[in-house]
């Protein structure tokens, strides 16, 4: 089938594009390259350099007539959404509505939407958190993701447009960029490999740092492939289902680097400590049992295996430390 992937030059989107192409699909990418990179583009995919808010987007749909749209383009930073809610809403809500309008007009059969798990659920009192939990979003970013989910429900009810919402846990893996809280694994790696001491953000009562559910991008790709033909009209958590503290994550990254002969200096044993930032939640872990039932999906990468894959893809030739 023909699949249009928005944000297909970004970290998650480009990995998903590779997965679709390996599975034999025809892929078209729409990306404004604001954070996406040309080097991430699969040579077998067709690229349109365009913002999802653009009035020109309808021309892409008219030419390509995608069967499925996999929507990954987004303003993805929680702190940035707090600092500029207007821009966050423009990209994440108005961009999504523009896509949905084009999809309906040009006969797209299904939308896959990359949503967020932890941010939507907020400070959940049920851990691991199921999709049925009525969360309390604590950031504009989370609000825009939930808003788009509601728009999908409207377009399904009003136009019969199929959708599957994939609520991701914290995704990490090859091609992740070291910025914003979503890129904590790559932030740790780059900081250590360049000789600096990373910062672990804490609430005062959490000496191990906040907790998150870390899911390898390799597993995310498989979930998107399976959702092409399953999970219609459903919201599904995609996660490891394991609650991991930031300090445990840090130690796992450091151990993996040391196994590969670097970062041996004991100064790396104790990272800096910083206060929680605006929009940060204390605990997050997602119940992924619905994914097993609806998509026949389960994670294949535990944290150690996923970090090892990520470290092995890092360009150590750029840095020299011991």
List the catalytic residues. Answer: 141
What is the Cα–Cα distance from 215 to 301, expressed in whole angstroms? 8
Residue 205, number of CB atoms within 10 A of its CB = 6
What is the Cα–Cα distance from 292 to 298, expressed in whole angstroms? 6
Question: 249 near 303, Cβ under 8 Å?
Answer: yes
End-to-end CA distance of the chain: 49
- Axis crossing angle, helix 217-227 with helix 303-312, rounded to the nearest 10: 100
Closest Cα partner for 286 from 182, 132, 159?
A: 132
Using CB atoms within 10 Å of the CB of residue 139, give its burial: 0 to 12 exposed, 13 to 18 middle, 19+ buried. buried
Of the CA atoms within 13 Å of residue 168, those in its CB half-sphere come to 25
What is the Cα–Cα distance from 121 to 167, expressed in whole angstroms? 10
Q: Say if strands 214-216 and 46-49 run parallel, antiparallel, or are unpaired.
A: unpaired
Annotate 54-94 with three-state secondary structure. CCCHHHHHHHHCCCEEEECCCCCCHHHHHHCHHHHHHHHHH
| Cα dihedral value 139, 141, 145, 147, nearest 10 | 70
Residue 151, number of CB atoms within 10 A of its CB = 18
Question: 2 near 25, Cβ under 8 Å?
Answer: yes
- Axis crossing angle, helix 184-193 with helix 246-259, rounded to the nearest 10: 50
């Amino acid at each position: 089938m023909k699949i249009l992937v928005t944000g297909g030059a970004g970290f998650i989107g480009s990995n998903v594009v590779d997965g679709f192409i390996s599975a034999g699909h025809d892929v078209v990418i729409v990306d404004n390259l604001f954070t996406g990179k040309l080097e991430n583009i699969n040579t077998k995919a067709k690229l349109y350099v365009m913002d999802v808010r653009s009035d020109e987007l309808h021309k892409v749909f008219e030419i390509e007539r995608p069967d499925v749209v996999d929507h990954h383009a987004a303003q993805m930073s929680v702190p940035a959404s707090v600092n500029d809610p207007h821009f966050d809403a423009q990209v994440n809500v108005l961009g999504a509505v523009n896509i949905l309008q084009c999809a309906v007009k040009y006969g797209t059969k299904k939308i896959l939407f990359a949503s967020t798990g932890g941010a939507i659920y907020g400070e959940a009192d049920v851990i691991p958190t199921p999709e049925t939990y009525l969360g309390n979003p604590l950031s504009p970013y989370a609000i825009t993701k939930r808003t788009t989910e509601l728009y999908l429900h409207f377009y399904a009810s009003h136009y019969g447009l199929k959708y599957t919402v994939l609520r991701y846990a914290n995704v990490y893996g090859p091609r992740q960029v070291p910025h914003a809280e979503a890129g904590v694994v790559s932030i740790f790696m780059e900081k250590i490999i360049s000789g600096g001491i990373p910062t672990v953000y804490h609430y005062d009562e959490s000496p191990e740092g906040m907790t998150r559910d870390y899911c390898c991008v390799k597993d995310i790709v498989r979930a998107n492939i399976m959702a092409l033909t399953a999970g219609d009209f459903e919201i599904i958590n995609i996660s490891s289902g394991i609650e991991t503290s930031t300090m445990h994550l840090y130690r796992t990254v450091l151990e993996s680097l040391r196994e590969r002969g670097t970062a041996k200096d004991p100064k790396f044993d104790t990272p800096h400590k910083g206060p929680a930032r605006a929009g940060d939640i204390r605990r997050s872990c997602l119940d992924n049992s619905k994914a097993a039932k609806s998509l026949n999906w389960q994670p294949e990468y535990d944290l150690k295996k996923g970090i090892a894959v990520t470290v092995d893809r890092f360009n150590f030739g750029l840095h020299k430390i011991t």
